[in-house]
Each structure stands twice: as structure tokens, then as C-alpha cells.
Amino acid sequence: MKEEILKYAEGKEANQELITWLENKIPENVSQAEVEHIIDYIVAKPKNLERATYEQQKKMAEKWTQAMIKKGENIKETKKDTEVVLDFKDGFKIVKLIGKNAYEREGKIMRHCVASYFSKDDEIYSLRDKDNIPHATMSKSSQQIKGKGNGSIHPKYVDYVVKFLEYLKIEVRDSEMKNLGYYNIEKLLPDIKNKDLYKGKYWHQDTKLIGKDGNEYLSLDLLNYVNLISETKIGLKVNFDIQALCKLSFDFICKKTKKIFSQSGDYSQQSQSGYNSQQSQSGNDSKQSQSGNNSKQSQSGYNSKQSQSGDYSQQSQSGNDSKQSQSGYNSKQSQSGNYSKQSQSGDNSQQSQSGDNSQQSQSGDNSQQSQSGYNSKQSQSGDNSQQSQSGNDSKQSQSGNDSKQSQSGYNSKQSQSGDNSQSEMLGINSVSVNAGHDGKVKGKIGCWFALTEWVKKDNKWIPLCVKAGQIDGKKIKADTWYTLKNKKFIEV
């Protein structure tokens, strides 16, 4: 819940003092609505929070909030001030604001500046309940939809807003739903079993996704909908638990590449368990499975799949949409087809891909990955692992200690959670997040990065500081390694 509260505070343009106070003073098991009232009060009535307790601010916020609502409720609306546009027959309705009293009342109760829109060339609508209390304010010309305090509207009111937009003959596309905080994850439906998706396909970021196995679902595919890192008014925000994303993404890829078999004609299957065995396939949609040591596989058909568990095994694929899975030590994989996928769990393994939109996953120590395709994705969890990408808009994720990452594509993203790991951004406008202890980062001018400083307390490592910065060539130099120490960026 704390993440949602901080997001609300950002929307209210809270300063760093309030953000720090919220992080340190919010007790367990309090409602989000209660804290939001306190945030509204502190933003409206700035004060020194150094010695302020949560209970003190709660009592003062309650008085202030009631006073604001009372002011709004004391503003009497006449029949001429509003016009009922859509009645939902369950107590809720949409009204159009017409008179000055309606604008001022809406602004007081909703705690935003809609009153300033009176007499302007725009149509303003309000979602009201049975007691005529507003819950969402909507502008027709700008298509802005605001909740209380200019924040997001509560999910329980989304259906009313969507029906109203449809009533206005405004096409509610995925982009409009995204503005409401909902993402169309129709492509992911075969892998999840959530029954609470809006209209069966729209997912709200604050809702946990559940996989078919009943466990939490996290996949690198979610980065196609929600950015790993977003820029806010108070700095950079990481939208996912990086360690969980790395682990669950790898587990998901492993499950998807499991139980794969094959042969030599189209749709054929082969299975071998002997040592030094060899397989060759050229048919489309073929599948192969090998468990013997020193085995070799070769495939050139589209949509083909390979699986190997023997040591020193080798695989080669050139077809588009192909998939490979290896768990043996010292294994090697090579793919050149677009949209290809690779998965390896053996130590000292190597992967190479040149197709666009390709995906790789490795969990073995000392493993290496290389990709040159655009929009490619990589995931590694082994210690001392290395990654290299040159495609634009590429994404990387690593959780192993002493790991290294290098990207030269523009707008690329990197994520690392292992200790002593290194991130290098060679492409402009790239972003790197290094959440591990003693992490290091360097890059070109214009790139953003975040580093974490950890301290040992009671034999446990705990985060002391998370700090973001931009390489501007002045305070932060280009092509220079930096780490975070004593809450400051220092050259190393």
C-alpha cells in the first residue's frame, strides 16, 4: 500500500520532506484513504514535519478535511447549476456543471481547481452518488478525468466513467483505458487465471496477477505494458520488484520450454537419451529432446523447438519463432531467427542471438549472453554473468552477484539486483537501475541511473539509500564509473 500512497503524494506535488515523512511515519494496517486525507492537508497547509507525529497530523487533517467538505456542501446548488446527463438507476449519475455554484462546490469537495474552468469553452461533468457527492470530474475537450485532489479515480468508479465516455460517443480505446490506469493484457490471458480483470482483459497495475499454477505471475512481457522505470516529479520510480521479476520471469520461461520433443519432417518429434547422439531436423514446427552428453542438434524450420539437458551439448537454429532450452554445463546455443527464445540454466553456458524481438533467459553462474536485435530482452540470475546488447529499446535484467551488463542501443533499459554488479550504458537516453550492494554504473550524457547503498545492521544487510541521477557531463561525468557511498555519488 505504501507504494500507492507515495504515488498519490507525487500527484499532489509533495516535496521531499513530506515523502520522507510518509516513508518513516506511516503505521501498519491503516487505510489508504486516511493517509490521503493527511497528504491533502499537509500539501495545502505546508509545515515543518521534523517532529510531527502521525496521530497529530491525522487529527489536524480530519478537522481540515471536514471543514473543506463543509465549505463545499454549504455551497447550495440550484436546479439551474447542474443538468443530469446520464442516470445509472443505482444512485449514481453523471451531471453537467453549468452554474458557478456547481463549479465552486465541485472544486471544494474534490479539492482541485475546476472552479477556474467556469465560463471557459469546455464542458465539465461530474460523477455523483445518491447523496450528490462527487467522485470524479471529467473534461470533454481535454478528456481529462480526475479523482479527488487531482489524483486517479478509484477503480470502483471506472465502469461508470467508461459507460459515460461511450454515451458521449468517445471511443474507449486501449490508450484511454491506459489513462485510467488499465492495460490491455489480452495476449497474456493464456498464462493467467485472474477473474477480476475489467471487461475480461484490462489489468490495473495495483492488482496482483496470478498464473495458471496459482502463484504470482511476473514476466518480462509485462514490460511491454508498464515501463520498468518511470520518471516522476520527485525522481525515478521502479515499477516492479526487480528480484521477483527476474526470478519469476525465469521460472515462467522454463515452464514454457518444458516438455518439448522432436524429429525430421514437419510436425515431427524425436527423443534421444544416448551419449554422443546427433539429431538433424529441417521441417517446420518440429520438436527435439535430448538428454545424452556431448549430443548435437540442428534445426532450420520455423516455429521449431529444442530441449537438451546433457553436458557439452550444442544447438543451432535459424528459423523464426524458434525456441531453445538447455540445462547442461558448458552448453552453447546459436539463433538468428526473429522472435526467437532461449533458456539456459547450466553454468558457463553461452548464448548468441541476432534476431529482432528475441528473448533470452539464463540462471547458471559465469554465463554469457549476446544480442544485437532491436527490442530484445535478456534475463540472468547467475553470479559473474555477462550480458551484451546493441539493439535499440532493448531490455536487460540480472540478479546474480558480480554480474556485468553492456548496452549500446538507444533508449535501452537495464536492471540489476546482484551485489558488486556493473552496468554500462553506451547508447543515449538509456536507463539503468542497480539495486545491489556496491553496484557501479557509467554511461553517456543524457542517460539516467539509480544506485542503492546498503548497510549491515544486526547481521542483516538493509537498504540505507536509493538515489537517482542523470549524466549531465557536469555534476555526473560521462563514461565514468560511479557508485553510491554515504548517500553521495562518487567516482570509482
Is residue 26 packed enough to be buried (19+ CB in 10 Å), middle (13-18) or exposed (0-12)?
A: middle
> Which stretch of DSSP H or E encloses residue 25?
helix 16-25
Residue 468 grid cell = 537517482
Q: 126: which DSSP letter?
A: E
Q: Is the pLDDT of residue 409 over 70?
A: no
pLDDT in tens, 315-365: 666 555 566 666 555 566 666 555 556 656 555 566 656 555 556 656 555
CA distance 255 to 344: 12
Please check whether residue 319 is in contact with residue 338, taking contact to mean a CB–CB distance below 8 angstroms: no
Query: Quick check: 262 pLDDT over 50?
Result: no
Helix axes 100-110, 54-74, angle to 10 degrees: 170
Mean pLDDT for the stretch of residues 462-482 = 91
Q: Are 79 and 96 in contact (CB under 8 A)?
A: no
Whether the per-residue pLDDT at 303 is higher than 80: the answer is no
Is residue 480 within 8 A of residue 442, CB to CB? The reply is yes
The per-residue pLDDT of the chain, averaged, comes to 75
Cα–Cα distances in angstroms (integers) from residue 344 to residues 201, 363, 417, in the given order: 32, 7, 19
- Cα atoms in the Cβ-side hemisphere of radius 13 Å centred on 188: 23
**What's residue 393's pLDDT?**
59
Whether pTM > 0.85 for this model: the answer is no
pLDDT of residue 144: 77
pLDDT tens digits along 47-76: 788 888 989 988 888 887 777 767 777 788
Separation between Cα atoms, residue 440 and residue 176, nearest integer Å: 39
Q: What is the pLDDT of residues 80-102, one digit of tens each?
A: 999 999 999 999 999 999 999 99
- Residue pair 63/39 in contact by the 8 Å Cβ criterion: no
19, 232, 439 from 236: Cα distances, Å: 13, 6, 17
- Greatest mean pLDDT among 124-138, 338-352, 357-371, 377-391 lies in 124-138
Q: What percent of the chain has pLDDT over 70?
A: 63
Alpha-carbon gap, residue 437 to 414, rounded angstroms:
16
Confidence tier at 128 by pLDDT (50, 70, 90) = very high
Q: Interhelix angle for 32-44 vs 2-11, to 10°?
A: 30
The confidence score (pLDDT) of residue 102 equals 93
To the nearest whole percent, how much of the chain has pLDDT over 90?
A: 17
Average pLDDT over residues 35-43: 79
Cβ-in-10-Å burial (0-12, 13-18, 19+) of 78 comes to exposed
Please report, in angstroms and rounded to a whole number, the separation of the first and last CA atoms in the chain. Answer: 37
Which is nearest to 137 in space by CA: 167, 184, 95, 173? Answer: 95
Residue 403: which of 390, 418, 424, 388 has the closest Cα? 418
User: Any residues with CB less than 8 A from the CB of 418 and at least 6 apart, and which?
Assistant: 383, 398, 399, 400, 401, 402, 403, 436
**Mean local confidence (pLDDT), 397-420:** 67
Rounded distance between C-alpha atoms, residue 414 and residue 404, angstroms: 11
Confidence of residue 259 (pLDDT cuts 50, 70, 90): very low
